[in-house]
Structure 1
Amino acid sequence: MKNNMKVILTGGAGFIGSCVLRMLNDNGIEDIVVVDNIGSTNKWMNLVNKRYRKYVNKDRFLPELASGEYDDTDIIIHMGACSSTTELNFDYLWLNNVEYTKAMWNFCTKRNIPLIYASSAATYGDGENGFDDKMNINELRPLNGYGYSKQVFDQWSLKQDKTPSQYVGLKFFNVYGPNEYCKGSMASMVFHGYNQMVETGKIKLFKSCNPKYADGAQERDFVYVKDVCNVIKYFIEHPEYSGIYNVGTGRAQTFEELVSAVFYAVGKEPNIEFIEMPEHLRGKYQYHTKAEMGKLRDIGYTDEFMDVDAGVKDYVINHLAKNKMVY
């Protein structure tokens, strides 16, 4: 990775984006334009220990991009999006997740530079067709507007005759880890569970509404954000690879395993309370996700992904228990 690389990083003050910023800094890259919409949130705290050239609000960025100000950019890493799975304003989702990403694509195509962007495992919907990134994505049926907006862009990208020099869409599964502190309800169960454990001594999980799954046995592919950054680093270092790739661990682990790891990280026995699932979630709830990782392995990615025991332990001990230390 060239340390004189000029990078545009959208969503750079957010959860995954700020961790990517840390990874870039750790590799000697500092000429970075961070694009985000911090507003009156505390996301600025994710930038305090980072090095970058400038911060630009997302609404000002596109006019600046069109003006030619960033024509010397070497790569765009586009992590910015509306990532709320409960967002109901579809026009907002379309503007942020489809049209904004098209602008990134067109700029990179014109300049013949790489684009790495965030897709989502939410495109897979209920998983009826599996979670294989080698399949025909037109067969997927997302369950919410967020997942559909990501699906629309993925479909659009595959129809383009003119492309960036490299284009990589990353279908993130259930990412958890440091710097997610400002995500509110969309933060991981590790974050919310740790706070519950500290406050009440127990962690609450939804009961199952599917007879095939016991309470707490609902499964997800939980992937640690530091592993996600390693995947992004790999694609930066291998511009010869393009396409849409899953980013998970290839494991399905239960919510009970996940929150038990929170207790074990601080030397406590699990104390879990099962509560009723809200009515509005029941018809859209995924009971199982597991990324097929063969496509990424086929292009030579060999790093191992942490399981929940290792990832949660690092997150709890080195970040949450240290006053939510920023990575």
Structure 2
Amino acid sequence: MIIVTGAAGFIGSNIVAGLNARGVRDILIVDDLADGHKCLNLADLDFADYLEYDELERRMAADDMPGGIDAVFHEGACSDTTEWDGRYVMARNFTYSKTLHAWCQRHRVAFLYASSASVYGMGPDFVERRNAEKPLNMYAFSKFAFDQYVRAQGRARRSQVVGLRYFNVYGPREGHKGRMASVARHFSNQIAEDGECRLFAGSDGYGSGEQRRDFIHVDDVVAVNLWLLDNPQVSGIYNCGTGRSQTFNDVADAVIAWHGRGEKRYIDFPKSLVGRYQSFTEADMAALQQAGYPNTFMPVEEGVPRYLDWLAARRTA
């Protein structure tokens, strides 16, 4: 059996889909379904059982879990970057993760968890080194704190432990995220509704729409996770991006090309984001490559139409 936490969320549900594509259906899915809308991410997927996240935490803390568990993909977290209730965020993202990590270590089960590129703050370096890590909000701090904990436990490690620092992930099954969904989805919705997509005007020395992020398709994220499952000798904390930054204009152009219509409009940069906005991110992928990861990553010119094709097929199904 494989456990996937955050299974009804964006990356978690795509990992379940990736496992299903391999013929794996003996999956225990775990989430917090207080917001039941997320269940739609799982409606076309196969799994064996379901637990609420707090029940999993209780049972793992009590060492009351069945045998035969091969791996835990831990994608569940409070992902709201505007949440400043530190006790709440640390309980969800740090303490919960420690409980799962401890159980996996006791039972020699692979533990693959979601970290975040937000630990790097404003950059400018995005490499897995302590001096590059400068979290700027509670969400980022909670991810940074758990990475610190994992590092401190390194010499006592009894089974595979991997943290993946996700960069700007986009793709299927993110509809529940609302305003936190990817710019590719927002741009597509804006063009469908108004015939134009709205980008920020120039900021931080970048021209209008020329701010740059490392945009990675969720299929590539799943491929990294499954490769790690296949390579239990690999442990550590790794970036998970493409290694190539692209502009918001690039994303908008890919969306416009797919729709065959639309224009770009630049809006004033929000004052509330001055000094708090990542105008540039780019994953240093050397560590993962040195660990043996063999695959390349989709640029937005390939990934965005792939995503919009999936959305169109869902709407017409």
TM bin (shorter chain): over 0.9
- State the distance in 1 between where 2:158 and 2:221 align: 22
State the TM-score, normalized to the length of structure 1: 0.93
- State the distance in 2 between where 1:163 and 1:208 align: 47
Task: Name which of structure 1's ranges 106-115 and 156-165 shifts more when overlaid on structure 2.
Answer: 156-165
Is 2:126–2:132's contact at 8 Å kept on the other side of the alignment?
no
Deviations along 1:176-202, one digit per CA (max 9) or x if unpaired, are 000000011111001111111111011
- State the distance in 1 between where 2:15 and 2:175 align: 16
* Match of residue 190 from structure 2: 196
* Match of residue 159 from structure 2: 165
| 1:139 CA displacement | 4.7
* Match of residue 273 from structure 2: 281
Is 1:114–1:164's contact at 8 Å kept on the other side of the alignment?
no
Deviations along 1:98-117, one digit per CA (max 9) or x if unpaired, are 11110111000100111000
Q: Which runs of 5+ in 1 are unaligned?
A: 1-5
| 1:164 CA displacement | 4.3
Q: Which of 93, 98, 103 does residue 99 from structure 2 map onto?
A: 103
- State the distance in 2 between where 1:286 and 1:164 align: 37
State the SS of the aligned residue for 1:182. helix
Deviations along 1:196-243, one digit per CA (max 9) or x if unpaired, are 111101111122332x20010000000000010000011000000100
- State the distance in 1 between where 2:95 and 2:158 align: 16
State the SS of the aligned residue for 1:85. coil
| 1:323 CA displacement | 4.1
* Match of residue 114 from structure 2: 118
Deviations along 1:247-281, one digit per CA (max 9) or x if unpaired, are 1001110001111101111222x511111233322
- State the distance in 2 between where 1:117 and 1:21 align: 14
Q: Does 1:257 align with 2:250?
A: yes
Q: Does 1:73 align with 2:66?
A: no
* Match of residue 313 from structure 2: 322
Q: Does 1:30 align with 2:21?
A: no
Is 2:113–2:162's contact at 8 Å kept on the other side of the alignment?
yes
Residues 28 and 325 of structure 1: is their aligned pair in 2 closer, same or farther, counting only changes over 3 Å? farther
Deviations along 1:58-94, one digit per CA (max 9) or x if unpaired, are 1222123325233431111100011122222221111
* Match of residue 219 from structure 2: 226
* Match of residue 39 from structure 2: 44
State the SS of the aligned residue for 2:305. helix
* Match of residue 208 from structure 2: 215
Query: Which amino acid in the other structure matches residue 103 of structure 2?
Result: F
| 1:163 CA displacement | 2.4
Q: Which of 217, 234, 239 does residue 241 from structure 1 map onto?
A: 234
State the TM-score, normalized to the length of structure 2: 0.95
Deviations along 1:256-309, one digit per CA (max 9) or x if unpaired, are 1111101111222x5111112333222210110011111111122111100001
Is 1:71–1:111's contact at 8 Å kept on the other side of the alignment?
no
- State the distance in 2 between where 1:162 and 1:222 align: 35
Q: Which of 303, 306, 310 does residue 311 from structure 1 map onto?
A: 303
Flag the structure with higher helix content: 2
* Match of residue 168 from structure 2: 174
- The number of aligned residues is 315
State the SS of the aligned residue for 2:50. strand
Q: Does 1:12 align with 2:4?
A: no
Is 1:19–1:229's contact at 8 Å kept on the other side of the alignment?
yes
State the SS of the aligned residue for 2:51. strand
Task: Name which of structure 1's ranges 234-243 and 68-77 shifts more when overlaid on structure 2.
Answer: 68-77
* Match of residue 55 from structure 1: 50
Is 2:123–2:132's contact at 8 Å kept on the other side of the alignment?
no
State the SS of the aligned residue for 1:165. coil
Is 1:105–1:163's contact at 8 Å kept on the other side of the alignment?
no
Query: Which amino acid in the other structure matches residue 18 of structure 2?
Result: M
Deviations along 1:97-152, one digit per CA (max 9) or x if unpaired, are 11111011100010011100000000011113x0112x2x2551112211111001
Task: Name which of structure 1's ranges 119-128 and 66-75 shifts more when overlaid on structure 2.
Answer: 66-75
Q: Which runs of 5+ in 2 are unaligned?
A: none
| 1:28 CA displacement | 1.4
